[in-house]
Amino acid sequence: MLAPGGTVGVLGGGQLGRMLALAAARLGLKTHVYAPEPENCAYDVATARTIAPYTDETALRLFAASADVVTYEFENVPAETVDILAALGARVAPGAKALAVAQDRVVEKEFARSIGAATAPFFAVDDLASLEEGLKRIGRPAILKTRRLGYDGKGQTMIAAQATDLGVTWEQANHKAWEEIGARPSILEGFVDFACEISVIAARGRDGAVALYDPPENRHGGGILRASMVPARVAAETAGRARDIAERMLHALDYVGVIGVEFFVLRDGSVLVNEFAPRVHNSGHWTLDACAVSQFEQHIRAIAGWPLGDPVRHSDAIMENLIGEEILRWSDLAATRGWCLHVYGKGEARSGRKMGHVTRLEPRRPDGAQGR
């Protein structure tokens, strides 16, 4: 167990790293953030920083020596980085298995099915010929996504139900979609006519103990999470199915830390796994204000070997992301009673960039679901 005064190493310096550092400080732990960018919002609140490429073995050696445990704030950390750190004797959590599965969307879908979870139909695509074969099997409409490195709607494109919708032939439409995702290994996913989207934020400690937060209902726009509402407007049985799948994932991956699992809820109440992130998750930001132990503190507790905290929420909540110039509303939001404002301290408010979030708290309804 990592005692207060110890150091948590964090790979990545964005807003998730920033909030992990703040949570660690609350528990008396130090943080050392490692990232290649010269400017990052996590640096402002970390105890130490290293600015170097993720594959710089000399810098990673010094980083590993400074940290008692290492984690990451995004799933696209190069696998080579984790291998180097492991060879240096660093304790990395979550482990390499979860990272490898999450970094490849085909492997991710196959893993979900291996634990008995349902997914949308999918087909691995390596070239135009396999794209056309996949469309024959799955049908249209469909979504073509890169197997690796896509996030927040990047690296994906929609293939319409009818070529005439685009004013082109099928061959032209397929070629256009292939070019839009960079003509690289991809996954074709069947379109899902879902009722809503939910997610489960779950944690597993080093002792195998599990803590599950109430599933929020999520609303996206342009591929970016816009808002999360808890409790989700789904039946208790549906929430239970999603939580059960998340718990099975944790054990199957021998996972340590917080995971975010996204689901499509079908109209009959069944759930399909969309994807998972081996890290703290945007749809769990409401836990900062609606729970005694946030997802960020829970992650630090888990990787440090501490007992997991109680995930039960004390309030209903609606979390909204502040994207781009929406952060300019900060003064009005800060003055609004019942709203909890979080500003990430980033510089330029670019279009599509997450600049902060705000959470509105309301008294908890007595019929709300319980986390466990």
Name the residue ranges covered by the structural domains of the chain: 7-92, 121-190, 196-363
If residue 49 lies in a helix (H) or strand (E), which one and from where to where? strand 48-51
Q: Decide yes or no: CATH 3.30.470.20 for domain 196-363.
A: yes
pLDDT under 70 in the chain at which residues?
Answer: 150-154, 161-173, 367-372
Dmax over Cα atoms in the chain, in whole Å? 64
Cis preceding-peptide flag for 94 (omega within 30 of 0): yes
Give the C-alpha separation, 147 to 201, whole Å: 23
Residues 203, 259 contacting (CB under 8 angstroms): yes
Quick one: pLDDT at residue 31? 98
Radius of gyration of the chain (CA): 21
Phi, psi of 323 (to 5 degrees): -105, 130
What's the rounded Cα separation, in Å, for the pair 311 and 292? Answer: 7
Distance CA(134)–CA(137), nearest Å, equals: 5
Element (H, E) at 186: strand 186-190
Query: Which CATH class for the 121-190 domain?
Result: alpha beta
Eight-state DSSP code of residue 28: T
Q: Would you state the pLDDT for residue 367? A: 62
- Phi first, then psi, for residue 202 (nearest 5°) are -135, 155
pLDDT in tens, 316-335: 999 999 999 999 999 999 99
d(CA 50, CA 56): 11
The owner of tokens 């005694």 is 292
Q: What is the pLDDT of residue 118?
A: 98
Phi, psi of 61 (to 5 degrees): -65, -45
Confidence (pLDDT) at 36: 97
Closest listed residue to residue 249, CA positions, set 91, 103, 102: 102
Show the tokens assigned to 186: 């991809």
Architecture of domain 7-92: 3-Layer(aba) Sandwich (3.40)
Q: Residue 371 has what pLDDT?
A: 45
Rounded to a whole number of angstroms, the distance between the first and last alpha carbons of the chain is 23
